[in-house]
Structure 1
């Protein structure tokens, strides 16, 4: 890889790090936000949800806009919008304006993420160079989740929650300045033609409504009018989008692209990977804090060994793909993901310790994460022509984002339901006040552990399904020897 290639990869991977870190860093700061702004749990949940909805709903559109306007231009625009929205969040006097700022942050993140991934595809052709680049991306994603948790705790404790937003402003400005120097002015400006306005509106609104239904389902109730109405309207708009694309002169997503079995399978697998992985980070951090009694900073540091394994394994994924083949590497990754998640679930105990419960299975998960992320990204983008790089990045990013949202919604619902069932069937017995308090704490820890275990076993089932689907792949195998 040439020095300019290394510089561009460092820039794009750092952007991935920032976007993943932004989700985790704000989540850690939410309790302090609530205390400062006087917001209840519902308002706080939408500080996180507004970002997820905008991010997930606009990734597909962002990728296609990058194909039309130029990837460098859209990348810089996304970083600029992210910085401005972060500054607005840092200055927000109330929860409503903070939620609005987070939604605009999601818009900027969607544009920057889709354009960054498309630039990577353009700069590194399919083969060993791309595999290495995707490995670095996976490593930065894993590191971003932990770094965000750690920095969120440190900044909130030392400087207050607003510092987490100003950190985004600083980092986005630095990345934009570097992009102006490193990326060629016309990087990725490859597609000319009309714009599918009807497709853009129906796809964005449909994806946004589905994301809204998923992230708000546990709060409003899965069978509530709000959840069913938003989800139904979103699905109806996506069906309308499919109809529009068959008639559009310059479709947002050409039907011929979606007709590729390899691309469809790869995107399903990418979604299933995140359905297991994303909520696993959240659930492990909760277990360490609520059951084992770790502080938020300790909960984040508990995931550090996993991230170190990701950083070590990710650069080797290209060689693994060459040695055993793309599809075998993909299946291996999902088998390890299933085994690690199931092991983690069964290891959890109410009175355990970090080394006896989380450490060993998290190391296995650290090896699985880059394998599944790199192989699904390779498979999802292998057939993308230069003028389709933004579209390919938008599709796989959308699949991953919705896998994250769906996984978090489903697994948290499973954990909550199982915890409630265990609490209702528990019995603390008749003891004195001190004994009753101790028994109640033990019962609570047992109930929460049962909930986390059930959720993680559900995640393992999603990974097992992905492993089965990957056994008979239909994606093109083209793996030159690494250099």
Structure 2
């Protein structure tokens, strides 16, 4: 009797130590996932600041220079959905590490490029690696943290990386380009990618996926990948061809036809690539549409505010990055601190609505920036509500988008969420930049000064961006349902649940 009694406290200590080790392992895994995601997100904006240097060094034409960005966006947006499903089928850890390795290798090739064609080809491969890495990240996060409060905290960290990474990229791009050369915006990914891939192999739990025999819809994969890549290509090329050109309408019609064929295929396929049950939940479907509208509107800030600071206020690359940095600080303060608590207490919809309101208000303030403006008076007051609003909205949307995903579908849900973000980004960039440029050229033709015409063009884009976010707010208010806890996954099966905890 004595032996049994004396052994009990020791067993309790072992259990507590085991639980503590498991908890540390989960947060270490989250850190690795976010490190890989941050590297991919940074690359989306770090290149923008270095474009003038790249053009001068490699001799790109104006139209060719745009493809330094587009060559990355097209495969990235087109492959997210397929990569997410592959994660469900063969294991998200395998897909994540493969994406990191491909992205890192392509970054090295980008850095050593001395010819335009080599850089563009490397950027295309980099986009593939970025898609493969990003597609499964959010799915792994929600699988690691099944409890609502912990999941809210983890999604807050993920959302901070998603939201603030772009602003950090502007700062890092300006600093690296000015201090060294544009080559280093790619070289810096190499050591980070190697460490992240090695760490992922050590701290991420191994998983086998549900098996290729559960979803090898080759036809569906070809249809959706072609549709998404063609959609992104059509949107980004509108800056050269216009929205009503034969090029845009013909390619857009082809992309729509492929997408419709994919939907029909998924409704009939025995093992669909994208199970349509993912969209049965009203909050999930609504979150996807809201995500696209919000990101499209926010691009008027992420892209055009940089141009306003540089071309109107005369900021250099480094000061531009520093000027945008308050947004990252605000996003971090909300995403990492207050937002998870508010979501756990009031539910994601209640947190999302004021977040979208603040974003729309911030863009509306930017819609009034004058030609002879001041950063402290005219720009900073808009950046603070933008940062706070995005810090509230992004974790809420991520929570809603993943709320009904079963463990076996979390990869495809994650890929779909990121796909809507990329489609929204490409659409917002194409529409808002085209409208701003067209209005500026019209004003210049009427005799306006260059600074005044540029400012008026940016104002128009900011106001339209505010309108897009207002539309997202209306959609959120009418479509989303109030919930105070994370919804149960649809059709959660026992084997899938066992696989998630394996």
Q: TM-score, normalised by structure 2?
A: 0.89
Look up the match of 2:209: 189
Look up the match of 1:420: 441
- Per-residue deviation at 1:221? 2.0
Q: Does 1:46 align with 2:72?
A: no
CA contact (8 A) 1:382 1:476 kept: no
Q: Deviations over 1:116-162 (max 9, x none)?
A: 12111110115121111111122223332222112212222232111
- Per-residue deviation at 1:191? 4.9
Q: 1:478 to 1:386 in 2, by over 3 A?
A: farther
* Corresponding residue to 1:473 among 479, 492, 496: 479
* Corresponding residue to 1:137 among 153, 158, 168: 158
Q: Does 1:448 align with 2:468?
A: no
- Per-residue deviation at 1:335? 0.9
Alignment of 1:152-163 (within 5 A): 152-163=173-184
Q: Deviations over 1:23-46 (max 9, x none)?
A: 111111111111111111111100
CA contact (8 A) 2:282 2:480 kept: yes
CA contact (8 A) 1:75 1:111 kept: yes
> Structure 2: any 5+ residue segments left out of the alignment?
1-19, 487-502
Look up the match of 1:336: 358
Q: Distance in 1 between matches of 2:333 and 2:480?
A: 29
Q: TM-score, normalised by structure 1?
A: 0.93
Q: Distance in 2 between matches of 1:378 and 1:191?
A: 27
Which has the higher mean CA deviation after the structures are superposed, 139-148 or 383-392? Answer: 139-148
Q: Deviations over 1:411-464 (max 9, x none)?
A: 11121122122222235xxxxxxxxxxxxxxx1111111111100100100111
Look up the match of 2:391: 370
- Per-residue deviation at 1:235? 0.8
- Per-residue deviation at 1:185? 2.4
> Structure 1: any 5+ residue segments left out of the alignment?
428-442
- Per-residue deviation at 1:277? 1.6
Bigger CA radius of gyration: 2
* Corresponding residue to 2:48 among 14, 27, 31: 27
Q: Does 1:56 align with 2:62?
A: no
Q: Does 1:211 align with 2:232?
A: yes
CA contact (8 A) 1:325 1:477 kept: yes
* Corresponding residue to 2:402 among 381, 385, 390: 381
Look up the match of 1:403: 424
Q: Does 1:321 align with 2:327?
A: no
- Per-residue deviation at 1:190? 4.1
Q: 1:322 to 1:52 in 2, by over 3 A?
A: same
- Per-residue deviation at 1:478? 4.2
Q: Deviations over 1:194-213 (max 9, x none)?
A: 40000000000000001001
- Per-residue deviation at 1:103? 0.9
RMSD, aligned α-carbons? 1.6
CA contact (8 A) 2:353 2:476 kept: yes
Q: Deviations over 1:338-359 (max 9, x none)?
A: 111111212x111111101111
CA contact (8 A) 1:28 1:296 kept: yes
Q: Deviations over 1:235-261 (max 9, x none)?
A: 111011111112211101122223433
* Corresponding residue to 2:36 among 15, 27, 48: 15
Look up the match of 1:104: 125
Q: 1:324 to 1:48 in 2, by over 3 A?
A: same
Q: Distance in 2 between matches of 1:180 and 1:262?
A: 34
* Corresponding residue to 1:460 among 457, 463, 466: 466
Q: Distance in 2 between matches of 1:342 and 1:194?
A: 46
CA contact (8 A) 1:326 1:477 kept: yes
Look up the match of 1:226: 247
- Per-residue deviation at 1:322? 3.4
Look up the match of 2:7: none
Look up the match of 1:87: 108
- Per-residue deviation at 1:321? 1.9
1:302 aligned counterpart, secondary structure = helix
- Per-residue deviation at 1:269? 0.7
CA contact (8 A) 2:363 2:382 kept: yes
Q: Distance in 1 between matches of 2:300 and 2:71?
A: 18
How many residues were matched structurally? 463
